Structure 1
């Protein structure tokens, strides 16, 4: 019995060893059966190694992070975007995007010798902040006096412009890209300029960001800072409304014709919902293009003495925010009126002179509050001042 058990155990071990051997041999045969797959992988690796564009989005210099923190990605964009991709976050699109940028830049002609007028569409406008600063005028060159009838209104916002450029187009199927960002100005862009800004503090156009579609449509995001002098009218104070307009054009006159898209006209409320103006509420924003430019280009002799054009105009309508109008102005006037009328009931009494004196004191306090709200110099007398004067004359 012992000999039979040994033989049976030996046969089981032999079967297991044969099974393991067959498994290993089958795996080796499977790996060697299809030699085309490794050949294709080797071929693809060889192609990647022979590619002229590096496939790694890394910094070529260890100091790139330090330079990027110091703002070199904006001041020295061409070198930084190429050599410090990771620190400047310029890896969008990968190697194909960089190769396409190089191809477009190499074949692009940014000459402005053509006399054709380009059409630039205003796709979006958003107002972020607005400031109203009063001008100062010298009185006998000794004491500066604040002239609040002539003020400067400064507005901060963002514009999105678009235009067609056939030189910035590519085959989407071959390149595999539909959109392409330009990290520095490589193509033609409109050179915006505010034409109604005062000389000491002109408007500024900063922060150009470009993106192009494969069809040749280019978009530009730009931040603007416009300032315009304005004569405020305080006749209806404190319920007055002011309308301030900013005119801008291209530096090259008659080189650009601005048109306003319908989406901007339909979404005027969204353009001003996040804006903040101290003491004012933005009621309406209106941006319009001028048809006069086309007439000038057709026949400038219609008005040869005025070739200044209002190519595009951005107008903002403000309403004074009179939140404390009732508590600061109406309540003192109401209290003084009630005291004056009630003093009639206390004739021949000691309380009547005291009530009249307190009524006059309330009126003086109301006038002081009104004087704090009014500008120090105006060309017209507000209606509320006339009403206050009439109420004092009645007393």
Structure 2
């Protein structure tokens, strides 16, 4: 595959007239006027910007079926009164089409990899693979369904050698998992060197409960169990003390901020400046389309920047370049992905149409991507395979129809 005459970013600046040759799922060459080789599929890049694919570091992708179902509620009533009762009706087919619906949205937002925790992980993995995306997939684990823990290791063994799917371990949270469950989950992750995906310190009530019952914050408690390490993606991390931040850095854990979702559920604002000063690797996730209500990292980048400026009372906090790094380089580091706009990197790319009013004047493209982007992803490529071109995704209409049918089935029992 040869992408011709496309723009790329170098040190934050737009470089025009570049060609990108892709071979066997990798970027083989980048430069001007590369010659087309026999068998090359040519993609016209004029007027477009090639970016490395974004990584959505926290989702529950099948919950795309529940978009708009339970808005305007606080987290625990939202879970206990609406989400958990409806999830009790979920079937594998519901999850299959919910994941495919979510994949459509990820592809349209230039997201080439995502980190997921939900029911029926084999179905999630299969649907993701069919759609062509990369995924770090974990089945959710909590004590109210103890049988889920026994399914974790077999799932890892089934998918550990897949090219696109990386199986992970997903203990839901410290307040929904007993110490025994957490220890067993950690042992499985250590045995397979798998990522651990976990909600941590999402609400003040959660943190206050741990301080009262155990005399420790959730972060300190998890550290006492040996669960803080470089394979942990600690999700939300809204209510952290300064000591928590430095402990996360000491153990090299990765923090995933889900700003829009946290704001919508009124859970609070994560102390990202304190985390960054401590040296923690900070990434971004959208959370589910049920609590956000979309899967756009472009929107989350802007919301994160604006909210953090206000939280720290200075517009100088969190530059566009820093926020862009959260969604790209920091995410690649967290998940060990060989991504980026460089020779030898995974051919996980998105082409963005620069002929849109929100990219003009073309003064600061990174700023426009973070603060102005309102659409325009034209092409998405993963592992050298074109998933969307000229805004067209094969099979999209069927997925939309099936997703609507599954939503009606799920909610007709209300």
Quickly name the TM-score band, shorter chain normalised: under 0.3
State TM-score, norm by structure 1. 0.20
Structure having greater relative contact order (Cα 8 Å, sep ≥ 6):
2
Of Structure 1 and Structure 2, which has the larger fraction of its residues in strand? 1
Structure with the greater alpha carbon radius of gyration: 1
State TM-score, norm by structure 2. 0.19
